[in-house]
Copies of this chain bind each other. A is one copy, B any other.
Amino acid sequence: MSDEAVEFARLKQVNDPDSLVARFGSENPLPLDAGIAIAPWQIAYQTYGTLNADKSNAILICHALTGDQHVANVHPVTGKSGWWESMVGPGRPIDLDRYFVICANVAGGCMGTTGPASINAATGEPWGLDLPVVTIRDMVRAQALLIDHLGIDTLFAVVGGSMGGMQVLQWAASYPDRVFAVIPIATSAKHSSQNIAFHEVGRQAIMADPDWRRGRYLAEGVSPKKGLSVARMAAHITYMSDSSLQAKFGRRLQDREQMSFGFDADFQIESYLRHQGMSFVDRFDANSYLYVTRAMDYFDLAADYGGKLANAFLGSRTRFCVMSFTSDWLFPTEESRALVHALNASGARVSFAEIDSDRGHDAFLLDVPEMFDIVRGFLDAAARERGLR
């Protein structure tokens, strides 16, 4: 496809996505933590498998920062397969022969749920920075309204990694009676200073691009592609481990025998990162990147419960399965361990696994058999307790 065709395909998804869409009018506004309720608003979602008669087999999957609702189908913009097909499918750990799976694009996103690229009905133009900053709790509130809309009372499970894991934790805290089991993976109950720092670099890269136009680039017919690409490059490094970069790229040269003594992409790692940056801008909106990173930065679950994380889960009957990866330096195991300590202090039912992997943070998206075994086993056990076949 030409650049224009890709851009057209991407922008189509914002307001008229190739997904199911639940639309809410002024009688059902979305109240945001910023203190403003927005209406109309919409949430785009995919479903997989079959909801059983008593609606007890629904699993909500929450996506990460740059993910979307296309978990297990071909992506309508990139043409690539779904981002978690190794986890979700018939016979997979999240088994579509048993479970009904829902995944919705997050509030603030750019794949059909209301976000900064969506049309603001009050002006007829894209929201841009007029959209209030959304939080992880806002994302979960929107998902809960979708679950109401689908007539589902209690979710069998909520599962997600990274920012998806933050939403999982928020679900458990905000709606303890509506979630039977949760699986937060490679995540944290609060975003660290280092992670805020990396996000701020990405945002500054976007806002430094003159084509950002103070967020009005869509109305002005331009796009801050260079800034967004740099933001993605910086972030991408944090998703991998030092040792996986060393194993995958090392100091190997790209399509040459000698260094060029110039600023071309001499090294494979440079070429790879440039490609990651350039392909990202084909499928993501720059303002959404600002909003969704901000939501993660603001996430500090304990802060809503008097500064004590255990209070977020007091009295909860939800089953927790917490997972982290040894080489993940973005959401290191110690943050999962702190979460587990809080869950123990609250008396919650929790199991915890630190999985040995050298793949860094992105391990949760990759082919990690131990993770699959744990998810399958945990869901099997929960399904028996829940009385699912």
Interface set of A (CB-CB < 8 Å, partner B): 33-35, 129, 132-133, 190-194, 196-198, 200-201, 203-205, 207-210, 226-227, 229-230, 233-234, 237, 240, 242, 245-246, 248-251, 259-263, 265-267, 269-270, 273-274, 277, 290, 294, 297-298, 300, 329, 332
Of the candidates B34, B207, B273, B329, the one whose C-beta lies within 8 Å of that of A329 is: B329
Query: Could you name 30 residue pairs across A and B whose Cβ atoms are closer than 8 Å?
Result: A34-B261, A35-B261, A129-B262, A133-B260, A133-B263, A193-B242, A193-B250, A193-B267, A194-B237, A194-B246, A196-B251, A196-B267, A198-B237, A200-B233, A200-B267, A200-B269, A200-B270, A200-B273, A201-B230, A201-B273, A204-B230, A204-B274, A205-B205, A205-B230, A208-B226, A208-B229, A259-B298, A263-B290, A263-B294, A267-B297
List the B side residues contacting A229 at CB < 8 Å: 204, 208
How many subunits of this chain does the assembly comprise? 2
CB distance B269 to A197 under 8 Å?
Answer: yes
A223 to chain B, nearest CB (A): 13
Asked whether A197 and B245 contact (CB < 8 A) given A208-B209, A230-B205, A274-B204, the answer is: yes
A203 to B329, CA, bound (A): 24
Contact of A193 with B132 in the complex, beta carbons under 8 Å: no
A245 — which chain B residues lie within 8 A by C-beta?
192-194, 197
Sample of 8 further A-B pairs with CB below 8 A, known A230-B230, A263-B290 = A35-B261, A196-B270, A200-B270, A200-B274, A201-B237, A204-B230, A208-B230, A267-B297
A268 CB to closest chain B CB (Å) equals 8
Q: Which B residues are in CB contact (< 8 Å) with A191?
A: 251
Min C-beta distance of A91 to chain B, whole Å: 37
* Minimum Cβ distance to chain B for residue A172 (Å): 21
B237–A197 touching, CB < 8 Å = yes
- A133–B193 CB distance below 8 A: no
- State which of B204, B226, B260 has its C-beta within 8 Å of the C-beta of A233: B204
Cα distance, A41 to B207, chains bound together (Å) = 39
CB distance from A93 to the nearest CB of B (A): 31
Complex CA distance for A193 and B273, rounded to whole angstroms? 11
